[in-house]
Amino acid sequence: MSTRDLPGVSFVEPGKYGGFQEQKEDSLRGEISLNSQQHEDQDRKNSSLHEDCCGINVDEKKSKELLSDYLESASIHGIAQTKGPEFYSWRRLDEMLLQCSWNLKRYDCKDLFRPLHTGYGTCYVFNGPEIETHNLAKAVSLFSQLRVMVSIGNRHSYYSKLMHAGIKVLVHQQDEMPFPLFEGYFVRPGVAASMALTRSDSKCLPFPYKAYNNGYCEDTKAEGYQNRLKRYAIYNGNNCLNDCMFEKLEEACGCRHYFANGNHTVCSAKQILTCYMPKYGKYALVDTS
């Protein structure tokens, strides 16, 4: 029986930052800032939202013990371990993905999906990057379907970059990081949505043919090839362009966006408004290679 490679599929909530988990939210939310306005919300137990919409204000002395306890809990519920608290500011995999099936067989969602850090927070990815080749899914028949029941959870999240209710679904190459800022399909709440896919493949000409102005295509299959990207474990065109964009933004502004990987300090709200956003708009419209 012939098989076909399947793409990666990612789910992300583009419009909201979720809160910390229920058992810790009262204590932690007082230490972690996720919004720029002072506000009280009775549904959120009068949680205070402090300064700096794109940064975090952390009282390390007070929150160190709480974060340590939460990281232990997070590792059990499908949230990858990272150094920054930004990775723990949204819903767990088991809270967002309620039911999952593949090839007409029911699975625990955490066995099919893994969390990845993106520009919109955490994406939950099926058949995506950093998965061993022998574990990647193949399409063998018309019944090779991925079906997921998603909990939107609008009442339990803050608005973030977009004022959208629902989720964004991305279809991408298996070895590509999901980039929900530029790609994907919006799915509104309360609907059953189906997606039919058509695959097309392209192959670039090898060296010495040029690409991206004065650059050359990377021969990633060459013996001894070393990935030169700082923020992505896998080299491809999308990862390269985003790595370059983040590098230029951090050089220009001296800080990184809240959801951007890197070692720079997180930009303040003022830096986001006066430097990061204007520079991002400028670089997005010109050839920065």
What average pLDDT does the segment 95-123 reach?
Answer: 85
Domain range spanning residue 235? 210-285
**Percent helix, percent strand, percent coil in the chain, to nearest 5:** 25, 20, 55
Q: Which residues contact 241 (CB under 8 A, 6 or more apart)?
A: none
The model's pTM is: 0.59
Per-residue confidence (pLDDT) for residue 274, from 0 to 100: 93
Same domain, residue pair 272 and 171: no
Q: Does residue 194 lie within any of the structural domains?
A: no
Asked if 11 and 131 sit in the same domain, the reply is: yes
Residue 225 located in a structural domain: yes
Mean pLDDT (whole number) for 216-243: 81
Q: Quick one: 77 and 178 in the same domain? A: yes
Pairwise CA distance, residues 257 & 267, whole Å: 6
Report the domain count for the chain: 2
Name which residue leads in pLDDT, 72 or 287: 287
Residue 156: inside a domain, yes or no? yes
State the average pLDDT for the chain: 68
Q: How confident is the model at residue 96 (pLDDT cuts 50, 70, 90)?
A: confident
- For the residues 237-266, what does the mean pLDDT come to? 85
**Same domain membership, residue 83 and residue 177:** yes
Is 177 among the domain residues?
yes
* Domain stop point among 187, 221, 241: 187
Q: Please, are residues 110 and 76 in contact by the beta-carbon 8 Å criterion?
A: no
**Residues 88 and 221 grouped into a single domain:** no
Do 150 and 90 touch, CB atoms closer than 8 A?
no
- Across the range 178-207, mean pLDDT stands at 78
Q: Which of 86-95, 133-142, 241-250 has the lowest mean pLDDT?
A: 133-142
| Long-range contact pairs involving 192-196 (C-beta distance under 8 Å, separation at least 24) | 193/169, 195/169, 195/171
**In this structure, is residue 115 part of a structural domain?**
yes
Q: Looking at the structure, do residues 9 and 147 belong to the same domain, yes or no?
A: yes
Mean pLDDT, residues 238-264 taken together: 85
Q: Above 70 in pLDDT, residue 211?
A: no
pLDDT, one tens digit per residue, over 147-183 is 899 887 766 555 555 556 788 898 888 878 888 877 8
Please indicate whether residue 239 or residue 40 has the higher confidence score (pLDDT): 239
Q: Are residues 175 and 273 in the same domain?
A: no
Contacts of 93 (CB under 8 A, 6+ apart): 77, 78, 79, 109, 110, 113, 115, 124
Q: Looking at residues 75-85, what average pLDDT do you find?
A: 41
Q: What is the pLDDT of residue 251?
A: 92
pLDDT at 30 > cutoff 90 = no
**Percent of the chain whose predicted confidence (pLDDT) is above 70:** 56
What is the reported pLDDT for 21? Answer: 41
Query: What proportion of the chain, given as a percentage, has pLDDT over 90?
Result: 9
Cβ–Cβ under 8 Å, residues 276 and 266:
no
Is 195 within a domain?
no
pLDDT of 275 over the 90 cut: yes
DSSP 166: S
Instruction: Return phi, psi of residue 18, to 5°.
Output: -80, 170
Q: Is the pLDDT of residue 244 over 70?
A: yes
- Structural domain contains residue 125: yes
Residue 274 DSSP one-character state: I
Q: Any residues with CB less than 8 A from the CB of 141 and at least 6 apart, and which? A: 1
DSSP letter at 187 equals E
Q: Are residues 75 and 215 in the same domain?
A: no
